[in-house]
Amino acid sequence: MSLELTQNQIVDEDQLSLNLIEAQYLLKNTRDQKNAKSVMILVNGIELAGKGEAVKQLREWVDPRYLGVKADIPKIFNPQQPFWQAYANAIPATGQMMVMFGNWYSDLLVTAMHVSKPLDETEYDRYVEDMRAFEQDLKNNHVDVIKVWFDLSWKSLQKRLDNLDPSEVHWHKLHGLDWRSKKQYDNLQKLRQRFTDDWQIINCEDEQQRDQQFAQLILTALKDCPEHLSKTRTKWKQAAIPESLLQPEHTSLNHEDYKKALKKLSRKVAKALRCDERRTIIVFEGMDAAGKGGAIKRIVKNLDPREYDIHTISAPEKYELRRPYLWRFWNKLQTDEDITIFDRSWYGRVLVERLEGFASPPEWQRAYDEINRFERDLVQNQTLVIKFWLAISQDEQAARFKAREETPHKRFKITPDDWRNREKWDGYLQAAADMFERTNTSNAPWHIVATNNKYTARLEILRAILKQLNAD
Amino acid sequence: MSLELTQNQIVDEDQLSLNLIEAQYLLKNTRDQKNAKSVMILVNGIELAGKGEAVKQLREWVDPRYLGVKADIPKIFNPQQPFWQAYANAIPATGQMMVMFGNWYSDLLVTAMHVSKPLDETEYDRYVEDMRAFEQDLKNNHVDVIKVWFDLSWKSLQKRLDNLDPSEVHWHKLHGLDWRSKKQYDNLQKLRQRFTDDWQIINCEDEQQRDQQFAQLILTALKDCPEHLSKTRTKWKQAAIPESLLQPEHTSLNHEDYKKALKKLSRKVAKALRCDERRTIIVFEGMDAAGKGGAIKRIVKNLDPREYDIHTISAPEKYELRRPYLWRFWNKLQTDEDITIFDRSWYGRVLVERLEGFASPPEWQRAYDEINRFERDLVQNQTLVIKFWLAISQDEQAARFKAREETPHKRFKITPDDWRNREKWDGYLQAAADMFERTNTSNAPWHIVATNNKYTARLEILRAILKQLNAD
């Protein structure tokens, strides 16, 4: 359904401004509240239609302190980055509005029109579908996404080009398209019609009407503060807990054999990680003291610290809580580093946040699909995602906790929280079981590794990395 | 004084680890305290000396959650960016440590060795001097900077190259230097000796000693939590308040003439801003209701919102308070945008923060020089800094406040704080006077504009921008 607003009323400007400001303050005041939201406005359209003017006019009507404007020059897609990567940083915090001139749709159009081997229709439509799924995830996580297409007929465009002040030509050349070419104009219109079904379309023949229409639809979006779902629709179906979690295998290996195998394997892993063209993301989850740190140490043994990033994930900061929960991970992937290791990860959403009630049932139950889409976007962009659950028995954990308490330089690793978390052991196993069932995808499978014996566990982890590097 | 640690004791590893962790927690606990600090460790040295290994070993001894590692590939200086720009984002928050492999010194070395027209000695030494001044400013703002050079003799380097595992050659090629060339080695040593006077030098012939020495000097740095100055050394000399602030000129202009002049001038300004090769930063300071917003509106009148950034500066967020106060501005300049406008700015340090006591006397009194260095770094890197103080009389301000209160869509612009701030009117004038006296530099002069009449004020601002654009 295309929302072309044809009959538009011109309202009193002062009144419109007042309404906008009031709505902005309403939005601002949702910050840190249950119904918190932010508004992201994607702006695209025909050159000279007046996107810039409409945004400038909006900026004059609202309180500019709470309206961000981000303008990126459209870029051809980077095959190693999901389409949202370059824009993740600009996603507004709750209470804020952000206008984005450059966005994933402008990149899509530029990619479709500029590359030597253009996207075929299937690829193009898949992008559009992925973008909509991403936007839906944003909406579910309190970021309202408004999409506005500023349209202009071929005839009007030509007339505006004729009347263009020569001093402004400089700017209009920037976009690298020939707006005198009817063929190109038609192509662009055809392409954009493949995604503008759910956009607001503004006909920009009349400038005053254009600015008012834009402001009015922003006003509507601002006013519409949804009550977020607090109940789930369906009853949760608990997955069965796999035996590998209930009874992690007890294995043994003598120190000599371990040392020998480790030396060989860790060299192989370093080499394989280095030589792979793809980016690699390695995720560790598991109970406290299951051996995440030790395993990571062996992975990076033959790497230089300049070759990898390790992120140790703990509770989010306040400014992170004002964004979708995946946001802080999107930002951590905005790097040139080819190897990224997460000691705990986005799976916290369906583990600790579920158990501790930081995420409501609708939130964590929705998260599995969101995480799957996130990982799929990575995998589709030349990234390998390797996920480990380190399975330890409750007795072995207790023994390690005690050993930590008795070793001065390891004491920092153990806190009263760790002992308390043991009381939720069964809850964590259930959460882990649900997580495996729902996020063990072909894109990014889980490896469950028994870690009662650290030696065999570490070797198994290295072998699994090698295998996934070579097999994929 | 070069701090070559020759007689180094090898201490028990567990004890060293314990000491490091305790010192880390001490550091961590300074967060949000009066003696808060963070530690930034700049790491450079000869290839194969073992920087990477030493950092990896350190990471195993400390609590890795509070040790960040950043590794940037050295880059030739970008003539449009101060040397610190690319690294500003990595400056650790109080309570944190950050190891930086890539840093301004590696960029300096690469620039000196790689460019077709190498830096002459004067330029090179000026860079070193600027870097030291920047680091001193960091230290004064709670960021301790530790610099460590990992040294290796020519003979040992050649021996290590001979014994290099072929699978590791990949990594060592990255740096783009020929480590078999004695000439290049000598050149590098000569160059680095021009800045390593105040570095810690680690002789890396022995690996165990190297790692211990590195860890021990980090330990020393961590333990040394300075009490920050709370008293100033000298009595503050209050500047005389200029007449232009005490009695802002009353001017007049009829609406027609204003409109005509505005149209012409704002086009000229837009064109001049667009065509200038340099980046332009325009700063507005002044009492509330002095007309900052209105002036900005006229500057951008003929620009497209995609061509500029406007930052409206209010109180810093908590995560910003954990960094040097200029940090949030450094980050705002990390953009491709050529035109950046600040509605209030870093001068808040010597205005509102001084008046409200958010900055202590030693802090704001030191800030003038820090700000001057910051602006000088910008100006030396093809950036124009244009600063305005909008001077309004107390009566005119009261009239504008009342008008705002009576205009519904302007009411958001006025808060009880604004009325309260009027009580500090004289204090603000004194602070402004001090600011002019100390920061009215040839690099970035102040323009004091009387704004009791909005029309003449706006035209004067546009003319001043034009003049500075053309004159510089």
DSSP string for B284-334: EEESTTSSHHHHHHHHSTTS-GGGEEEEE--SPPHHHHTS-TTHHHHHHT-
* Surface of A (75-134) touching B: CB under 8 A: 99, 101
Band of pLDDT at residue A337, cut at 50, 70 and 90: confident
The pLDDT value recorded for residue B3 is: 44
Q: What is the pLDDT of residues B372-403, one digit of tens each?
A: 999 999 999 999 999 999 999 999 999 999 99
Q: What are phi and psi of A290, to 5 degrees?
A: -75, -10
Give the separation between CA B465 and CA B291, rounded to whole angstroms: 16
Is it the case that residue A2 has pLDDT exceeding 50? no
Give the separation between CA A229 and CA B300, rounded to whole angstroms: 42
Is it the case that residue A355 has pLDDT exceeding 50? yes
In the beta sheet, which residues pair with residue A390?
Answer: A286, A449
Q: What share of chain A is helix, strand, coil (3-state, %, to 5)?
A: 55, 15, 35
The pLDDT value recorded for residue A8 is: 58
Amino acid at B323: R
* Surface of B (175-234) touching A: CB under 8 A: none
CB-CB under 8 Å, A167 with B267 = yes
Among all residues of chain A, which has the CA nearest to that of B301? A56
Residues of B in contact with A270 (CB under 8 A): 167
Is it the case that residue B225 has pLDDT exceeding 80? no
Is it the case that residue B7 has pLDDT exceeding 60? no
Q: What is the pLDDT of residues A97-155, one digit of tens each?
A: 999 998 999 999 999 987 677 788 999 999 999 999 999 999 999 999 999 999 999 99
Give the separation between CA B366 and CA B363, rounded to whole angstroms: 5
CA distances B310 to A55, B85, B132, B192, B300, Å, are: 13, 19, 31, 40, 10
Q: Which of B56, B170, B343 sits opposite A300 (nearest CB)?
A: B56
Q: What is the mean pLDDT of residues B426-445?
A: 96
Measure the CA angle with vertex B373, ends B367 and B374; round to 5°.
85
* Surface of B (372-401) touching A: CB under 8 A: none
Amino acid at A240: A
Among all residues of chain B, which has the CA nearest to that of A74? B306
Of A464, A455, A461, A466, the C-alpha closest to A269 is A466
DSSP B175: T
**What is the three-class DSSP state of B405?**
helix
Is it the case that residue B342 has pLDDT exceeding 90? yes
The pLDDT value recorded for residue B223 is: 85
Of A166, A381, A41, A371, the C-alpha closest to B274 is A166
The overall average pLDDT reported for chain A is 91
Q: Which of A69, A293, A312 sits opposite B305 (nearest CB)?
A: A69
CA distances A387 to A116, A165, A465, B298, Å, are: 36, 58, 9, 55
The pLDDT value recorded for residue A54 is: 95
Same fold, B13-223 and B243-471: yes
Give the separation between CA A468 and CA A472, rounded to whole angstroms: 6
Give the separation between CA B342 and CA B281, rounded to whole angstroms: 8
Q: Residue B217: which region, alpha, beta or left (left: phi > 0; alpha: psi -120 to 50)?
A: alpha
In the beta sheet, which residues pair with residue B29?
Answer: none
Q: Which of A52-66, A347-361, A426-440 has the lowest mean pLDDT?
A: A52-66
CB B454 within 8 A of CB B292: no
Band of pLDDT at residue B175, cut at 50, 70 and 90: low
Band of pLDDT at residue A228, cut at 50, 70 and 90: low
Of A428, A422, A286, the C-alpha closest to A353 is A428
CATH 3.90.1150.10 fits A243-471, yes or no: no
Is it the case that residue A248 has pLDDT exceeding 60? yes
Is it the case that residue B415 has pLDDT exceeding 90? no
Q: In percent, how much of chain A has pLDDT > 90?
A: 72
The pLDDT value recorded for residue B178 is: 80
Give the separation between CA A297 and CA A274, rounded to whole angstroms: 17
**What is the three-class DSSP state of B278?**
coil
A441 C-beta neighbours (distance < 10 Å), count: 15
Architecture of domain A13-223: 3-Layer(aba) Sandwich (3.40)
Band of pLDDT at residue A206, cut at 50, 70 and 90: very high
B436 C-beta neighbours (distance < 10 Å), count: 19
Q: Which of B18, B171, B312 sits opposite A304 (nearest CB)?
A: B171
Number of residues that make up chain B = 472
Residues of B in contact with A337 (CB under 8 A): 71
CA distance B114 to chain A (A): 21
Q: What is the mean pLDDT of residues A185-207?
A: 95
The overall average pLDDT reported for chain B is 91
Q: Which of A14, A168, A309 sits opposite B409 (nearest CB)?
A: A14
The pLDDT value recorded for residue B413 is: 82
Count of H helices and E strands in chain B? 19, 10
Tokens of A225: 């503060």
CB B317 within 8 A of CB B394: no
DSSP B198: G
Q: What is the mean pLDDT of residues B10-36?
A: 90
Is it the case that residue A452 has pLDDT exceeding 70? yes
CB A44 within 8 A of CB A192: yes
Give the separation between CA B470 and CA B472, rounded to whole angstroms: 6
Q: B250 at the A interface (CB within 8 A)? A: no
The pLDDT value recorded for residue B49 is: 94
The pLDDT value recorded for residue B198 is: 95
CB-CB under 8 Å, B409 with A18 = yes
Q: At what angle do helices A51-61 and A207-223 cross, to 10 degrees?
A: 60
Q: Cβ contacts of residue B33 below 8 Å, gap of 6+?
A: none
Is it the case that residue A172 has pLDDT exceeding 60? no
Q: Which of A15, A170, A306 sits opposite B101 (nearest CB)?
A: A306
In the beta sheet, which residues pair with residue A150?
Answer: A45, A202
Tokens of A427: 């809850």
CA distance A54 to chain B (A): 10
Q: What are phi and psi of A284, to 5 degrees?
A: -115, 125
Tokens of B225: 């939590």
Q: What is the pLDDT of residues A59-110, one digit of tens each?
A: 989 988 889 999 888 889 998 999 999 999 999 999 999 999 989 999 999 9
CA distance B409 to chain A (A): 4
Amino acid at B335: T
Give the separation between CA B418 and CA A64, rounded to whole angstroms: 18
Is it the case that residue B118 has pLDDT exceeding 80? no
Alpha helices in B31-175 (DSSP H): 51-61, 104-114, 121-140, 154-162, 169-173
Residues of A in contact with B413 (CB under 8 A): 63
Among all residues of chain A, which has the CA nearest to that of B56? A305
Residues of A in contact with B172 (CB under 8 A): none
Of B346, B361, B404, the C-alpha closest to B233 is B361
Q: B304 at the A interface (CB within 8 A)? A: yes
Q: Map tokens 């034009």 to a residue.
A: B466
Give the separation between CA A467 and CA B5, rounded to whole angstroms: 45
CB-CB under 8 Å, B56 with A101 = no
Give the separation between CA B26 and CA B64, rounded to whole angstroms: 15
What strand order describes the sheet that includes B308-312? B308-312, B339-343, B279-286, B383-391, B446-450
In the beta sheet, which residues pair with residue B281?
Answer: B340, B385
Q: What is the pLDDT of residues B296-325, one digit of tens each?
A: 999 998 998 888 999 999 999 889 999 999
The pLDDT value recorded for residue B174 is: 46
CB-CB under 8 Å, B274 with A56 = no
The pLDDT value recorded for residue A225 is: 65
CB-CB under 8 Å, B412 with A304 = no
Q: B312 at the A interface (CB within 8 A)? A: yes
Band of pLDDT at residue B1, cut at 50, 70 and 90: very low
CA B252 to chain centre: 41
Tokens of A131: 């973008």
Residues of A in contact with B21 (CB under 8 A): 409, 412
DSSP A49: S
CB-CB under 8 Å, B167 with A267 = yes
Burial B175-210 (b: 16+ CB within 10 A, else e): eebebeeeeebeebeebbeebbeebbbbbbeeeebb
Q: Which of A241-245, A307-311, A335-339, B331-335 has the lowest mean pLDDT?
A: A335-339
Is it the case that residue A395 has pLDDT exceeding 50? yes
CB-CB under 8 Å, A65 with B312 = yes
Using a 10 angstrom Cβ sphere, with 0-12 exposed, 13-18 middle and 19 or more buried, the burial of residue A52 is buried
The pLDDT value recorded for residue A130 is: 97
The pLDDT value recorded for residue B91 is: 96
Q: What are phi and psi of B308, to 5 degrees?
A: -140, 160
CA B248 to chain centre: 33
| Cα torsion through B259, B261, B264, B270, rounded to 10 | -90
CA B175 to chain centre: 28
Give the separation between CA A195 and CA A2, rounded to whole angstroms: 10
Is it the case that residue A346 has pLDDT exceeding 70? yes
The pLDDT value recorded for residue A32 is: 84
Is it the case that residue B158 has pLDDT exceeding 70? yes
Band of pLDDT at residue B227, cut at 50, 70 and 90: low
Measure the CA angle with vertex A414, ends A410 and A420; round to 5°.
165
Q: Has the ipTM of the complex gone over 0.85?
A: no
Q: What is the pLDDT of residues B40-75, one digit of tens each?
A: 999 999 989 999 999 999 998 998 888 999 988 888
Q: Where are the domains of chain A?
A: 13-223, 243-471
Q: Which of B17, B101, B271 sits opposite A167 (nearest CB)?
A: B271
